[in-house]
Amino acid sequence: MARMAGRRLLFAGPVLLAVTFGVFAIAALSPFDPVKAYAGTAGLTASQAELDQLRANLGVDRALVPRWWDWLTSALTGDLGTSSVMRRPVAEVIGERLGWSVLLAVCAFAVAVLAGTALGVLAARRRGGPLDRCATSLAYTLEAAPAFWLALLAIWLFSIRLGVLPSGGLTDAASEVVTAGQVATHLVLPALVLGISQLPWFYLYVRQGVADALDEDPVRGARARGLAERKVLLGHALRSGMLPMLTLIGSRVPELITGALLVETVFSWPGIAAATVEAATSVDFSLLAALTVLATAAVLAGNLLSDLLYGLADPRVGFDG
Amino acid sequence: MTARTARGAAAATVAAVLITGVAACSQPAGSGGSGAADSAVVGIATEPETLSPLLGYGKDGNSKIFDGLLAHDAGMKLKPALAQALPEVSADGRTYTYRLRPGVKFSDGAPFSAKDVVFTYRTILDPTTNNASRTELDAVENVEAKGEDTVVFTLKYPYAPFAERTVLPIAPEHIAGKQDVNSGEFTTKPVGTGPYVLTGWSKGEKLNFRANPGYWGGEAAVKKFTMAVIKDDDVRATRLRAGELDAAILPPNFAKALSDQHSAKDKARRTYAAKTFDYRNVTLPTHNEVTGDPAVRQALDIAVDRTAMVEGLLEGAGKPAYGPVPTDSPWFTPGTERAHDLERAKRILDDAGWKPGGDGIRVKDGVRAAFPLWYTSGDKIRQDHALAFASDARKAGIEVRTEAGTWEVIEPRMKTEAVLAGGGSPADPDFDQYLLLKSSLGGDGFNNMAWYDNQAVDRALDEGRQSGDATARKAAYDTVQRELVKNPGYVFLTHIDHLYVVNDKWDGLTTQVEPHDHGLGSGPWWNVESWKPKQK
């Protein structure tokens, strides 16, 4: 197990390196002009001389490889550079926003995994029952529903019709301090929407896995031996039914990141996802490279996590496989 | 009900509770932060990249955190701010002298003086400062302090509208001078002399301000002022309706929907339509063999139905545009309005030799009267204008193919292909007309996108820029507008009103005439420092 983790970590280094180079290469090829992005609307009235001066100041006309190398060497010494779109050091931009995104993602993930598993087990137990039919058709609908649309629906219901939850921001708009209570109430809707948009995958996998397991010989044997229904369901069926879901947990990580993007935008959540889009369309090399490294690391860690969980849950799976 | 379905129903209930329970256990959010009369929360669509005037923030005046030497009143007339009075201008129009208001302090307590003014202008003029609007100060040759309270600008050439440029905010040298001007802390934690002090900026979410107790103009009645950054129009309208915002900028259809609803809560809202210089036009590139023909230009100019565009696309919130100057501006030349006249447009084309071909599209010397028209993708108002223009042109026998793209795609084609463009600057006619029409600026960045080339206009633009005499300037800009009737370089379509929906809680709300850009200071809150809570 430690060997697998170690090998994956060794492998992660070159992958990350290649990804950062890829980011610089793709950004260099992209049709977006960092100078125009930097100048914003002022660029639409600026003279060519002015734009050329900006280009020189920003250093964006340099060749791809030296620029990437400079970024890499200073990143390794802890200096992530300055974000041209945020006009601030990259480390500060990320430090300020990452926590809020992680909080949102973790809560959403908890909602999706817990509710998805619970519903899946209940539905698998009575396949074709009213709960199963309702939940499954709902799950297919949700799979197709964009998170953006869900978010607007949630705002309409909880903020406008019922008036029980705030519809956006990290705290009340007029508030100048960030308190735990305010963040908690403002977190509910975005986390719920993001969680529910992920829920169908977990629900459907668990339902299928548990249903299959219930039909398998060991479970039928356990039932025949007169084991309590609870024990059969949770001890045997859930355990083997969970296996496919464990892989799912890791593989949903990228989806969670892209889902967060839309949800953060709708709810004015000051997370990192919104900054990523801005960095990309503004060809903000320093910020984009740092964010891509983070996202890649999250995906690699997600895969590692699901493999580890899988190995723990099913002793037949070798860690060196 | 069998035991089995009962258990199923119970399970479904449990599951439903599980999902909604998370929502239920939080306390009600109440009315957000917009209850108190001394606080205001407004929803804005765009967020500035920086709050440093050295990088271009607030350059057109009216920043809440800073003051310029001069400022605009509601009618866009210049009035003194950090200067005691309007500047003394030398007879040759090349020296501007400002005497500064005594006793002004920055919000950190340090006194404001002439050296801060000199520092601000010199830093902006420094080529290593990443300020994309530096060209606007091109006329400045030198700026220097004469003692503590006098600043003298020397210009390279007489530049009549120069005083309009001195509304740009003044930064404190003792703070901004000690850090990297392009990325230092000052770019996000500004300190100024203005009516409000920034207390927090959560990027992508909101900016919080507090009234500056030491403001030289007196402390504002609205003590807490918040700008919530909400990019999506739907969400902004929703949060206004949910009571979390006191005011917001909205597109015409949303503003109409909100004011059409007459629930008890919605009655206390008012819609403010700010008049603007914000135009939409179609460039007619001189280097295209169709749009370069004066007959085609003239025909298109009268073939478009501007009134229909205002009613249909803008829900009436706008005006037909015949040039960069809106019809209700004192700079407008009466008599240059053009009525929609399809028959005359056809006659002009017939007379010029553009004869209808087999498919109804006109042809002259083997050239089809067709050209592409680009608009920026995702901009609904531009798209609507482009489609309406194409449909009007088709009726006159000219085929306009509309295409969407980003500026990166459009820019290399601007020399020969038409673009649905926008712009507008109310402070002085020189500001956008010189850049839009001067022949020597053809193809210089985004200036003179149509490569317009008209010597009479060039002479008038120079006259308007250099003459210190108001009557001569008016005559010069009259010439420009009359020339645009004879030889349009652009088809101006509409001037667009900016709409704001505001809770009816304060007295003293007005709007300024607004430019194309939505600065933070645009909207009814341009003078939030003089709002007073309504007497109940």
Assess B440–A contact: CB distance below 8 Å, yes or no. Answer: no
Assess A197–B contact: CB distance below 8 Å, yes or no. Answer: no
Please list, residue by residue across B266-284, b when 16 or more beta carbons sit within 10 angstroms of its beta carbon and e when fewer do. Answer: eeebeebebbbbbbbbbbb
Q: How far apart are CA A160 and CA B258, in angstroms?
A: 13
**Helices A243-266 and A272-281: crossing angle, nearest 10°?**
70
Closest partner residue to A176 among B5, B28, B208, by Cβ? B208
Chain B environment of A96 (Cβ under 8 Å): 203
Q: Is B516 helix (H, G, I), strand (E, B) or coil?
A: coil
CA distances (Å), B133 to each of A44, A162, B136, in order? 10, 47, 6
Residues 300-319 of A with CB under 8 A from B: none
> What is the least distance, in Å, from the CA of A213 to any CA of chain B?
20
Say which residues have a Cβ less than 8 Å from residue A86's Cβ, sequence separation at least 6.
A93, A275, A278, A284, A287, B49, B203
* Nearest residue on chain A to B243, alpha-carbon basis: A160
pLDDT of B27? 35
Interface contact flag, B446 A45, Cβ < 8 Å: yes
The single-letter DSSP state of residue B506 is E
Tell me: pLDDT of A34 over 60.
yes
Indicate the pLDDT class of residue A300, thresholds 50, 70 and 90. Answer: confident
Residues 216-245 of B with CB under 8 A from A: 224, 226, 228-232, 234-235, 238-239, 241-245
Interface contact flag, B11 A274, Cβ < 8 Å: no
State how far Cα A2 lies from the chain centre. Answer: 26
pLDDT of B536? 59
Tell me: pLDDT of A118 over 70.
yes
Interface contact flag, A45 B447, Cβ < 8 Å: yes
Contact B290, B367 (CB under 8 A): yes
pLDDT over 90 percentage in chain A: 8
> What is the least distance, in Å, from the CA of A185 to any CA of chain B?
6
Q: How far apart are CA B511 and CA B397, in angstroms?
A: 42
pLDDT over 70 percentage in chain A: 98
Q: How far apart are CA A26 and CA A19, in angstroms?
A: 10
Chain B environment of A85 (Cβ under 8 Å): 49
Pairing of strands B247-250, B39-44: parallel
* Nearest residue on chain B to A129, alpha-carbon basis: B8
Chain B environment of A266 (Cβ under 8 Å): 232, 235
Q: What is the 3-state secondary structure (H, E, C) of A200-231?
A: HHHHHHHHHHHHHHHHCHHHHHHHHCCCCHHH
Assess B28–A contact: CB distance below 8 Å, yes or no. Answer: yes
> What is the least distance, in Å, from the CA of A300 to any CA of chain B?
28
Q: How far apart are CA A222 and CA A236, in angstroms?
A: 8
Name the nearest CA neighbour of A293 among A21, A8, A7: A21
> What is the least distance, in Å, from the CA of B341 to any CA of chain A?
33
Q: Looking at residues A152-179, what average pLDDT do you find? A: 84
Name the nearest CA neighbour of B331 among B429, B459, B463, B465: B429
Q: Looking at residues A79-91, what average pLDDT do you find? A: 84
Q: How far apart are CA B439 and CA B454, in angstroms?
A: 7
Name the nearest CA neighbour of B504 among B259, B316, B315, B250: B259
Pairing of strands B355-356, B362-364: antiparallel
pLDDT of A319? 59
Query: Token pair of A49, please?
Result: 């001389």
pLDDT of B20? 41
Interface contact flag, A167 B208, Cβ < 8 Å: no
Spans of chain B below 50 pLDDT: 1-34, 264
Closest partner residue to A48 among B49, B229, B444, by Cβ? B444
pLDDT of B265? 54
Q: Reduced to 3 DSSP states, what percent helix, strand and coil does chain B have, rounded to the nearest 5?
A: 30, 20, 45
Which residues of B277-430 form beta strands (DSSP E)? 279-283, 318-320, 355-356, 362-364, 367-368, 370-376, 399-405, 418-423
pLDDT of A180? 87
Among A66-70, A176-180, B192-196, top mean pLDDT goes to: B192-196
Which long-range contacts link B231-234 to residues 24+ away (Cβ below 8 Å)?
B231/A265, B231/B45, B231/B46, B232/A265, B232/A266, B233/B45, B234/A152
Query: Token pair of A197, please?
Result: 């948009």
pTM, to two decimals? 0.81
Q: Looking at residues A66-95, what average pLDDT do you find? A: 86
Range with the lowest mean pLDDT among A72-86, A214-228, B425-439?
A: A214-228
Contact B318, B453 (CB under 8 A): no
Interface contact flag, B135 A50, Cβ < 8 Å: yes
Cβ-Cβ contacts under 8 Å between A and B: the total is 226
Interface contact flag, A87 B128, Cβ < 8 Å: no
Query: Token pair of B338, please?
Result: 């053009």
Interface test with A, best of B188, B205, B278 (most A CBs within 10 A): B205
Backbone angles phi, psi at A271, to 5 degrees: -95, -170
Interface contact flag, B202 A270, Cβ < 8 Å: yes
Interface test with A, best of B206, B245, B420, B437 (most A CBs within 10 A): B206
Indicate the pLDDT class of residue A318, thresholds 50, 70 and 90. Answer: low
Assess B4–A contact: CB distance below 8 Å, yes or no. Answer: yes
Assess B214–A contact: CB distance below 8 Å, yes or no. Answer: no
